[in-house]
Amino acid sequence: MKKALIVWGGWEGHEPEAVAKILAVTLCDEGFEVEVADTLAAFEDAEKLKGLDLIVPEWTMGQITNEQLKPVLAAVESGVGIAGLHGGMGDAFRQSTEWQFMVGGQWVAHPGGAGITYKVEIVSDDPIVAGMGSFEVTSEQYYMHVDPNNTVLAVTHFRDYGAAPVPVVWKKMWGKGRVFYSSLGHNAEVAAQRQPLEIMRRGMLWAAKALQGSRI
């Protein structure tokens, strides 16, 4: 049985506990043994982390100590997958550049706030997004600084930021570990929507080396 650890906390505006429950149910439905923790101390047991298949952080902003960060970096580098969404992974631990290097990006701004409708364009036939057409979502449109080495799966365009696409969904490697990120999922309502949740489901499974099929 695959094992996953979800760690939630940080800024309450992103409803981390509720989003963590959605992700936990999703993984349980896929046959995972899921542990959910509400403290970064869950990251301190290096040997336990290396025995997992997947780490799912859901912790916006906040601070992480070296004693908590280093075991995560080492576990992923050794082959443990990591997957996250929105600010819970892409705006976590702003002072930690090592975290940002692993994730492959960092939140910069969300022009227009949380109530704008924008298009998410699928730009790959990767199994994580295969068969999914472009779609619209009403939420925060994340403008991010990103690693050019990411494999980008979906993008968006900003009306006032030129013609260049900004990545929404990507995957990458950190050592032997698979890293997946989606900027969709501002709160529980958005995270539970059909397309964002299906992308996250497939991304988590891919990171855990368990992706087999789709539900969309």
Tell me the C-alpha to C-alpha distance, in Å, between residue 15 and each of 55, 106, 188.
Answer: 19, 19, 6
Nearest to 84 by CA among 202, 182, 184: 182
Which tokens is 106 given? 């960092």
Which tokens is 95 given? 């002072």
Kindly give the residue spans of alpha helices, DSSP state H, lying in the chain.
Answer: 16-29, 46-50, 66-78, 86-90, 97-103, 188-191, 194-207
- d(Cα 110, Cα 122) in Å, to the nearest integer? 20
Residue spans of the domains in the chain: they are 3-207
Categorise residue 104: left if φ over 0, alpha if ψ from -120 to 50, beta otherwise: left
pLDDT tens-digit series, residues 8-54: 999 999 999 999 999 999 999 999 999 999 999 999 999 999 999 99
Question: Do the beta carbons of residue 87 and residue 107 sit within 8 Å?
Answer: yes
pLDDT tens-digit series, residues 155-204: 999 988 778 899 999 999 999 999 999 999 999 999 999 999 999 999 99
pLDDT attached to residue 39: 98
Q: Match domain 3-207 to its CATH number in 3.40.1390.10, 3.10.50.40, 3.40.50.880, 3.30.10.20.
A: 3.40.50.880
pLDDT attached to residue 65: 98
pLDDT tens-digit series, residues 124-150: 999 999 999 999 999 999 999 999 999
pLDDT attached to residue 216: 44
Buried b (16+ CB within 10 A) or exposed e, 68-82: bbebbbebbeeebbb
Strand partners, 145: 106
- d(Cα 193, Cα 111) in Å, to the nearest integer? 22
pLDDT attached to residue 213: 57
Question: Do the beta carbons of residue 156 and residue 120 sit within 8 Å?
Answer: yes
Cα torsion 166, 142, 73, 2 to 10°: value is -100
